[in-house]
């Protein structure tokens, strides 16, 4: 039991934060814990959690994906244009868009793993390129409305449970299996801990890196598809807010920003924390600027209490040990 608590302390702390924030928000906004409001909170958190699915894998592997906003935006805009409001077109449009997201992830992963481009530079460049391409393709003009099936997936319910909540649970199961029960998961943690050691240990580092970015691209595209169902339309810039929140959710969930540790179950808690904070601050009559300040403070605190981060910090700050007297005088 002690080993379990020690190994998962940051994840458990994130879920404790969820409970505390729920109680604090309910104190200032009495209707916050109503079933309808909790369902709304779950739906909003699910979008963050789905976007952060792939970001979790990338960060565990020691990278970061800054192309998420416009992978999401491209998928959303292209879905509405391809489907034209018709459900039947989704049969081919959704697989094509998910494959497109995976292809962009392949490009990111190949640039990082094969050509040695730093992840920040590679993914940021791809993000800007995608933004330019979709602006040229659409001309900035409005797109058709979202098909009814996508709206059902985003805001529909099965009994009292939101459909997108069920999608999120399914993704959580997939992530848990991949990270905890598969060879890919072991390779990913080894890669994030030390790419050099992992390579000498026989881990296929290039392949593992490429797969993680492909997962990130695919789930970003999935989030874009579902987000059009929530908003009813696709519009330029709809993915911008998810760059920050995808990274923040992973950090708040206990993953080391240096790679090598973390789990998607922690990211789920991080997504919930961010969503509840979004509901708390308006109840306190605070502005969006205050929301950003709180976001940054929460990330700073949660990352600072990570033993891995402190360990690296102390390693760099600690002065070199003095040699023994016998060794220096000899």
pLDDT in tens, 8-56: 777 888 899 899 989 988 888 888 888 999 999 999 999 999 999 999 9
Checking 86-89 for CB contacts under 8 A at 24+ apart, the result is 86/147, 87/147, 87/148, 87/149, 89/147
Q: Name, in order, each residue with C-beta under 8 angstroms of 66's C-beta and a sequence gap of 6 or more.
A: 119, 120, 123, 124, 127, 243
Q: Please work out, in degrees rounded to the nearest 5, the angle formed at the alpha carbon of residue 137 by the alpha carbons of 131 and 141.
A: 95
Q: Name, in order, each residue with C-beta under 8 angstroms of 218's C-beta and a sequence gap of 6 or more.
A: 54, 98, 101, 102, 105
Mean pLDDT, the chain, rounded, equals 86
pLDDT of 327 reads 46
Which residue has better confidence, 257 or 163?
163
- Cβ contact 108:217 at 8 Å: yes
- Cβ contact 225:97 at 8 Å: yes
> Does residue 189 carry a pLDDT above 50?
yes
The structure tokens listed for 325 are 């007297």
Residue 318 located in a structural domain? no
pLDDT of 5 reads 60
Residue 2 located in a structural domain? no
What average pLDDT score do residues 81-93 get?
90
Instruction: Select from 23, 57, 275, 11 the least CA-distant residue to 184.
Output: 57
Residue-wise pLDDT tens digits, 195-211:
999 999 999 999 999 99
Least confident interval from 64-73, 130-139, 236-245, 276-285: 276-285
Which residue has better confidence, 69 or 287?
69
pLDDT of 29 reads 83
Say what angle helices 163-181 and 183-193 make with each other, to 10 degrees.
Answer: 70
Which residue has better confidence, 285 or 206?
206
Name the band, by pLDDT with cuts 50, 70 and 90, for residue 293: confident
Which residue has better confidence, 93 or 317?
93
What average pLDDT score do residues 231-256 get?
88
pLDDT of 297 reads 74
pLDDT of 308 reads 47
pLDDT of 329 reads 45
> Does residue 244 carry a pLDDT above 90?
no
pLDDT of 314 reads 45
**Domain assignment of residue 24, given as a range:** 8-306
| Rounded CA separation 109/214 (Å) | 7
> Does residue 74 carry a pLDDT above 90?
yes
pLDDT of 328 reads 44
Look up the pTM and report it.
Answer: 0.87
| Rounded CA separation 230/248 (Å) | 22
Residue 124 located in a structural domain? yes
Residue 225 located in a structural domain? yes
Range among 30-34, 123-127, 276-280, 283-287 with highest mean pLDDT value: 123-127
Residue 321 located in a structural domain? no
Q: Based on the structure, what is the number of domains in the chain?
A: 1
Residue 234 located in a structural domain? yes
Residue 329 located in a structural domain? no
> Does residue 322 carry a pLDDT above 80?
no
> Does residue 160 carry a pLDDT above 80?
yes
The CATH number of the domain where 86 resides is what?
Answer: 1.10.3470
What average pLDDT score do residues 168-172 get?
96
Residue 87 located in a structural domain? yes
């Amino acid at each position: 039991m002690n080993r379990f608590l020690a190994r998962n302390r940051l994840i458990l702390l994130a879920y404790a934060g969820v409970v505390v924030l729920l109680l604090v928000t309910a104190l200032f906004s009495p209707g916050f814990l109503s079933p309808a409001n909790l369902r709304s909170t779950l739906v909003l958190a699910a979008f963050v959690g789905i976007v952060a699915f792939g970001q979790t894998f990338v960060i565990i592997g020691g990278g970061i994906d800054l192309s998420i906003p416009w992978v999401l935006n491209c998928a959303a805009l292209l879905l509405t244009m391809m489907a034209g409001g018709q459900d039947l077109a989704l049969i081919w449009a959704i697989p094509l868009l998910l494959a497109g997201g995976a292809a962009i992830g392949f490009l990111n992963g190949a640039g990082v793993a094969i050509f040695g481009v730093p992840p920040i530079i590679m993914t940021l460049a791809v993000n800007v390129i995608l933004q330019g391409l979709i602006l040229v393709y659409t001309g900035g003009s409005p797109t058709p409305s979202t098909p009814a099936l996508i709206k059902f997936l985003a805001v529909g319910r099965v009994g009292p449970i939101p459909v997108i909540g069920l999608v999120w649970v399914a993704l959580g199961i997939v992530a848990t299996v991949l990270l905890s029960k598969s060879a890919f998961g072991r390779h990913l943690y080894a890669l994030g801990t030390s790419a050099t050691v992992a390579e000498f240990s026989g881990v296929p580092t290039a392949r593992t890196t490429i797969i993680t970015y492909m997962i990130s691209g695919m789930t970003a595209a999935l989030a874009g598809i579902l987000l059009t169902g929530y908003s009813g339309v696709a519009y330029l810039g709809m993915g911008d807010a998810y760059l920050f929140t995808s990274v923040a959710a992973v950090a708040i969930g206990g993953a080391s920003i240096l790679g090598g540790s973390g789990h998607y179950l922690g990211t789920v808690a991080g997504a919930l924390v961010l969503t509840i904070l979004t509901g708390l601050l308006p109840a306190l009559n605070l502005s969006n600027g205050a929301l950003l300040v709180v976001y940054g403070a929460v990330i700073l605190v949660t990352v600072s209490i990570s033993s891995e981060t402190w360990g690296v910090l102390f390693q760099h700050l600690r002065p070199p040990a003095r040699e023994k007297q016998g060794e220096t005088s000899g």
